[in-house]
Amino acid sequence: MSKPKVYMVDPYYQDAIDLLQSNSSVESIIYTDPRKSNWQEDADALLIRSETRLGEAEFSKAKKLKAVVKQGVGIDNVNLEDAKKYGIAVANTPGLNSEAVAELTLGLALSISRRLSEFDRRIRSGEKIVRSKALGKSLYGKTLGVIGMGNIGKVIAKKWIGAMEGKVIGYDPIAPEWKDIPHTRVQQMDELLKESDVVTLHVPLTPQTKHMIGEKEMALMKKDAILINAARGGVVDEAALLKALQEDKLGGAGLDAMDYEPPTMSAYGDGLLKCENVIMTPHIGGSTIENQVRSGLASVETVLALLEGKDVPGRIV
């Protein structure tokens, strides 16, 4: 009897490739193999990342597909209703990228408040910086607003308290309580927006969260507040954000997730990238060597378990 075929259609870290190829119970086709484009013919399982999008068009042509595993948390590139329709299990790797995303969140907030990227650009352009006119703003003792109180939100709250000795306000209508973190949980997001010096988003992109931070919400924020989106593009209304920044109604924005990824000059050069107090990164929140190893190995272990009919913690469908 032929072995189940697992197609790794997107790039994974080498440790994950080695683990998959070392398993004698499956036949593995990795992303460098030209055969990967024909996965719909005989794939029993897929290992994907954000680059691959799956829905009705793809699932309807898949002759043997039983399981899809997405490395990372976000699963908006897979149509879950279509997967369910065709009886295909879908899983991700939750809880593994929390430290990495929290690190980037803190780094973006500090870089904006201390104007690090701005000064670096000005120095590289040949400008002589006058220190007395190069004042940043300290985040010590300030208030962090966390929208989305899941794994990532919890970790950044801990880091904020430890590094900044500041206050934390949390908002999430679904997530369980944080029992071991000093914080104030509000029932209305508006309360958080009014009180926070830094607002950080850690929610999935759903019809309910699309443009959850728009013109109305930004108008509630402090004039010098910093907005961080290390979640998903679409959660922030970018046109409203640009308007708020141009009118000096916000202190700055750090965006690791945006409508167009990766961000380019053609998409943002005449808008957000003209703002000195904006930092854009190409959705690299989870892109550390350590996290890629952990989540890649977890993805392979998950897909093998699904093929064996076992329950996995990251199963969504």
Element at 20 (helix H, strand E): helix 14-22
Active site residue 232: yes
Strand partners, 46: 7, 68
Q: Which candidate in 261, 276, 301, 315 is catalytic?
A: 261
Task: Strand 252-255: give its sheet, edge to edge.
Answer: 184-185, 167-171, 143-147, 198-201, 226-229, 252-255, 278-280
Burial class for 126, CB neighbours closer than 10 Å (0-12, 13-18, 19+): exposed
* Nearest to 228, CA basis, from 278, 188, 276: 278
Active site residue 238: no
Q: Which candidate in 49, 183, 202, 283 is catalytic?
A: 283
Number of residues written out for the chain = 317
Query: Is 93 in contact with 295 (CB distance < 8 Å)?
Result: yes
Active site residue 177: no
Burial class for 224, CB neighbours closer than 10 Å (0-12, 13-18, 19+): middle
Give me the amino acid identity at 309: G
Question: What are the residues whose beta carbons fall under 8 Å from the beta carbon of 170, sequence distance 6 or more?
Answer: 145, 146, 149, 153, 157, 178, 183, 184, 185, 186, 192
Residue 153, both tokens: 């939100």
Query: Is 126 in contact with 307 (CB distance < 8 Å)?
Result: no
Give the active site residues.
232, 261, 283
